[in-house]
Chains A and B, each alone.
Chain A
Amino acid sequence: MTIAQIEEEIVSDFELFDDWSQKYEYIIEIGQQLPALDEKFKTDVYKIKGCQSSVWLNASQKDGLLFFEADSDSVFVKGEIALLIKVLSGRTPEEIMSAELKFIDAIGLRQHVAVTRANGLANMIKQIKAYALAHKER
């Protein structure tokens, strides 16, 4: 599946919900399915700091593809990073860098959280894309 196809799949999953509270709960559920991050990555080196939450993100490369794993001290933010991982993990650096991530608008996430400084979704995207750029230039 392409990034666009996965994004479409996510958007159609979210269409099942009528209101924000159901989407909020679903995002948390998605986060709960994220595989545990090795404790050794829970250090400042891997930390993406939001105003009210922290994310630890590790990237690794295999056969030209980038893989991400993460955790957060916020269950909601963990859901957000899980969505990003679903879309962007296991992709080439080029794919990651050119991903427009339109699903964030489409599922109503931007309207609720991305504009606030509180949770740092923008920083997570920036960090993932920075990893992609670094690996591309290697």
Chain B
Amino acid sequence: MKQILEDTEKTFDVNTIRKDFPVLSENVYGKPLIYLDNAATSQKPHTVVDELVSFYSTYNANIHRGVHFLSQKASQAYDDVRVKVKEFIHAASEEEIIFTGGTTDSINLIASTWGRKFIHSGDEIIISAMEHHSNIVPWQMLCEEKGAKLKVIPMNDKGELLLEELNNLLSSKTKLVSVVHTSNSLGTINPIERIISKVHEYAAANSIEIPIVVDVAQAVVHEPLNVQKLDCDFLCFSSHKMLGPTGTGVLYGKAKWLNDMPPYRGGGDMIKSVSFEKTIYNDIPFRFEAGTPNIADVIAFGKAIDYLNSIDRIVALNYEMGLAKKASSLLSAIEGVRLIGTAENKTSVVSFIIEGVNAMDAGMYLDTLGIAVRTGHHCTEPVMQRFNIPGTIRASFLFYNTMSEVDALVDGVKNAVKFLKR
């Protein structure tokens, strides 16, 4: 990020923040937990945990149907979170916010509904070379079913997309572009505004429409997002990567698209009326939320948004960038360590390999020290193929991590190199 401040720990009170996250004071193997797997899932502040307990202990009820007190209270709490999400990402209206099971579910929803209606034989869908499997496989499945084609924006050796290639990929056959905002395995932050405007300009010049899906699963906890400024057509993210519970997430879609999409799953709550002859579907967003939703987790997700709103996010972001910058420079100075993903614009993800050492062995070694990192292909096998490596060791930082945890990681890696190098 461009906003990096030097010496950011002075302006960010990490010790106070850490007290809000119960897990961070846990020990593993008798050693203090050092949690550097935030890109996989974030830890939860006690307000989120408390809300789950509070919901189930004091107002658990099904929503949108009951006339009784508990149901009204639960319905109100659930609906309030939709408004919170709308404000959080600056959507035009809350009807554009659909609660899903998470990013993967959101992308599958688009592929299954929008895709079912608008993709035909010979059409093309463009994704990028650094997509998570969840932004590859649903489109592959759709393409296979429809006889459409998947096109891929390539990247350079630093892990940056080659945007000029996008010009060559766009054509009258292009029906959709789906791109990751921030790469989970490389840390690259893509110039998403430029990609969106490029695609929309191309579409306008050719009097066609090409909607853009943006996967912000890795970005949403780090940086403020504004869907109206971005002008994306769809936006997908998960609650659990932004301090909330697992099992819920969001699909934002422009109302004009959502209104034009067939339902995802059939069931209760997504209908206006049902007879054996004909069912009239409900309006958006309810049309896409069949059955009893994940009420408790959505309500607790609201507390995660409250938490993010309560901190100075720019200061937190600068602080995170300081952690990652320090980790990158100290790790890359270790003999045998090579960073994978060295884009100019990166999030607080540091992916690396150690020459001659299996990534899993290194991850397990760090685990014995109480350091939690991720190893392997991170559900981005094509990225690993691009760099011709089986996998990486990935440390991913969030604002509750500390500079001394970075030091512990660096010492751990130094010792891992000594111990594991054959």
Q: With A and B bound together, what is the CA distance between A19 and B28 in angstroms?
A: 11
A76 touching B364 in the complex, CB below 8 Å, given contacts A21-B369, A52-B376: yes
Min Cβ gap A104→B in Å is 16
Is A45 an interface residue when CB atoms closer than 8 A count as contact? Answer: no
**Complex contact B29–A19 (CB within 8 A):** yes
* A51-B376 in contact given A24-B365, A76-B360, A118-B360 (Cβ < 8 Å): yes
Q: Is the CB of A52 within 8 A of B391?
A: yes
CB distance from B20 to the nearest CB of A (A): 29
* Residue A107 interfacial (CB < 8 Å): no
CB-CB contacts below 8 Å: B333-372 with A: 358-361, 364-365, 368-369
In the bound complex, CA of A33 to CA of B8 (Å):
49
Closest Cβ–Cβ distance, residue B373 to chain A (whole Å): 13
User: A119's contact among B30, B360, B377, by CB below 8 Å, is which?
Assistant: B360
How many residues on A have C-beta within 8 angstroms of the other chain's C-beta atoms? 17
CA distance A19 to B368 in the complex (A): 9
Q: Which of A19, A20, A51, A74 is B361 in contact with, Cβ under 8 Å? A: A74
> B9-49: contact bitstring with A at CB < 8 Å (1 yes, 0 no)?
00000000000000000000110000000000000000000
Is B422 interfacial (CB-CB < 8 Å)? yes
Question: In the complex, which of the residues B30, B369, B377, B422 contacts A75, with contact meaning CB atoms closer than 8 Å?
Answer: B422
B390 within 8 A of A: yes
B contact patch SS: mixed
Q: Which residues of B contact A24 (CB under 8 A)?
A: 364-365, 368
Verify A76–B29 contact, CB threshold 8 A.
no
B368-392 interface code vs A (CB 8 A; 1 in, 0 out): 1100000111000000000000110
Pair B30/A19 contact, Cβ less than 8 Å: yes
In the bound complex, CA of A53 to CA of B360 (Å) = 7
Q: Is B5 an interface residue (CB 8 A)?
A: no
Q: Does A100 contact B (CB under 8 A)?
A: no
A73 at the interface (CB under 8 A from B): yes
CA gap between A19 and B30 in the complex, in Å? 9
Chain B nearest Cβ from A47, distance in angstroms: 13
In the complex formed, the residue of A with least CB distance to B421 is: A75
Q: Nearest CB to that of A54 among chain B residues?
A: B390
Chain A, range 64-111, C-beta contacts under 8 Å to B: 73-77
Please tell me if the beta carbons of B376 and A75 are within 8 angstroms of each other in the complex. Answer: no
CB contacts under 8 Å to B, within A3-41, are 19-21, 24-25, 28
B420 within 8 A of A: yes
- Which residues from B are CB-within-8-Å of A119? 360
B358 and A75 form a contact (CB under 8 A): yes
Q: Are B376 and A118 in contact (CB under 8 A)?
A: yes
Known: A52-B375, A52-B390. A76 touches B368 (CB 8 A): no
Can you list 25 contacts pairing A with B, beta carbon distance less than 8 Å? A19-B29, A20-B29, A20-B368, A21-B29, A21-B368, A25-B419, A28-B361, A52-B360, A52-B375, A52-B376, A52-B377, A52-B390, A52-B391, A73-B390, A74-B360, A74-B361, A75-B358, A75-B361, A75-B420, A75-B422, A76-B358, A76-B361, A77-B358, A118-B360, A118-B375
Q: A52-B390, A119-B360 are in contact. List 18 more A-B contacts (CB 8 A).
A: A20-B29, A20-B368, A21-B29, A21-B369, A24-B364, A25-B419, A28-B361, A52-B360, A52-B377, A53-B358, A73-B358, A74-B358, A74-B361, A75-B358, A75-B420, A76-B361, A118-B360, A118-B375
